[in-house]
Structure 1
Amino acid sequence: MMKLWTPLALPLATLALLAGCSSQPSSQQGVTAIPTTASTASTAQPSAKVQAFMMRGMVTWGHESYSIQPCNSQKQYWIVFPPSDHNEIREIAPYSYEPMYGEVIGMLEPAPEDGFAADYDGRFMVKQTNLLSAEMLGGCQMSAHYTNAFGMEPSWDLKIQKDTVIFSQMGMSDQQQAITQRQSTSGKQVYQGKDFRLILTKGHCNDTMSSSLYGWQSNLTWKGKTFKGCATLGATDVTANWVGHYKTTADATNTPGLTTTLTLLADHSAITRYEYDSNEPALEEQGLWQQVSEDSVKVMMTSHQGRRLLSERTYTLENTAKGPRLIARDEVINGNEYSLGEGGLQLQRQPE
């Protein structure tokens, strides 16, 4: 079945779908919507799978209100923890909807159409809790930490910084060793050097000295001595290299008279803006972005001019003489796939 293509494939296809959902006349004068019939669109292939990432923010856990507000952001995502985490979270969650600092690994989805989660900017599905703390209320003001193992009785701490580990004990000088071997499997990480071996195992771990929940248990052998405790993975979002502004350029095969700008923000929200050379008002879509692979990113738009919409584009990264460029060949709108033209939609990364 042929895919739709038009010089204004988007936002015209988007406008057509939205027009069918409203009895109000279109506010875009002079723009002719394209009928979205079976003859102009093909059924979309399964959506590209995204990679889980680390999100830091303030978590609220209470009756009918479960959310995370990413650090340095005004966005709020409904948060869904695995059922196996619920009892542990209840033990440390404060009353009266007071926030906790959190580091969680997972993926974003569009918010549902109804229910308590419908009023949020998206839904974050937690695969694993890295850290939840009712005491670290200033966690968002701190830099993202390295992978860290620690314990009590006796008090000890081990930080992993690139290819080096730093071991600390109360009343003793810090010691360092080089990491010579690393192993990572599902639910287990192993670091080894000349006189140490650290094993991190996925599992709940509580610090008895604070109201904190950690996602890893640690077992350290250091120069013949064994130490046990908790651990957290490094809290950096390793997909943050996509953050930036991308814009159509005159040398690419884009639609004449239309400038498209894509903004990917650190809180994983996304904004697509369409500006015309004519006097027509600009159009704006908002949504989410997530990495698919090191050279591709999925952008999901969830609203168009404030009205609900579900559309997806998967952009591929290409390095050009003018710098990184994103190229999307197709778009999926409400389950139908549309071509974005022979050359696709091409967006050049803009200088910071």
Structure 2
Amino acid sequence: MTVYDLWKNLPKDEIARRRQAGRDRWQRRWREGTGRDASQRKQSYKEHQKAQALLDDANQMQNPKAQRIRRDSLTVGTLLDRHVAAKADRAPKTLEADRHHAQGVRNHFGDRLVSTIDTTEIEIWSQRNDVARSSRKKQLEILRAAIKRGIRDTLVDRDPTDGIVVSLGHKELPHWSSAELIAVIGAAASDREKALLSVLGLMGLRSGEARTLLVGDLARGHLSVKNSGGETDTTKTRASRRVLPVPKAVLPLLEYQVGGRLQTDWMFPSPRTPGQPIGKSYVSDAVTRAVARANQDRRQPVERINVHGLRHTFAAIALSEAGADLLSVSRAMGHARPSITLDQYGHLAPAGLAPLMAKMDALTDGVL
């Protein structure tokens, strides 16, 4: 059983052509059975998958030497392939994002042997200025995840990304106060738009999630969020599929929208296209109309923010005014991980330990 380099002794221009075309480079060959009459089998691999070929070879042979060779030949590209393949059951958009960020890592480190990369080199790469901080952070995260998977599978000895952090820096996201939000909702041009702005600003739904709500998604005072509006029948991530208790002020607005319609009807049907939900522009126009109407009677006008700003408004009000905890806000917003909520909105959470100790005092008052 052997792993062959199919490009061996080829001219440089031919190698470049095959690399550009994504042709297989490595081929594992073995015989099923013993003797010359045993049938020969072959399996080919892409250029960056030599380590996977050696891994398959080692697993089949149970050869310690081959296992050592495949560890020494492991590339970053192979680690990324294994990690992304193991996450294949994720939501389509999440999987697409994983592949995109993995490609960003592959462009720089793909053909490099994992054993030749050190922490300083990765840190320098993670701090480059030609890529946005958020993208650099995502690329570092998927590289770290792939390496940790390699460590778990005993393919990698250490994690060279340990201790490296890409700081996003604090960038205040535009949002309203609760008073401004209530004023805008109250000035909505119709009952439909009032209900729409309420689920965006008071429940934290994404625009696509709100636009694709069905009548049947409202049941027993709860709202089921099932669709992201991204031309799929699922949400952005698994965590985005959630059931939210509807605030008492919002429930009558949604019940009025439901009326006696079929469960499969859109909660917010398009006024122009029968059988379709409202579009992105409708939501943006609804915000513009409501802000303009609210500012007619205000000395200090409400600043116009974009539609996604209503989602930020929900988080800001929940954390800074309602005193909610980050985990609850993360679940309400359908974030894949609480760390996302912490990165974006952690500075709005109640500061210091005084509020926590005050609650502990209230629990033990008169008991000790």
TM-score normalised over the length of structure 1: 0.24
Whose radius of gyration is greater, 1 or 2? 2
- Select the structure that is richer in helix: 2
Which protein, 1 or 2, shows the higher relative CO under an 8 Å CA cutoff with sep ≥ 6?
1
- Select the structure that is richer in strand: 1
TM-score normalised over the length of structure 2: 0.23
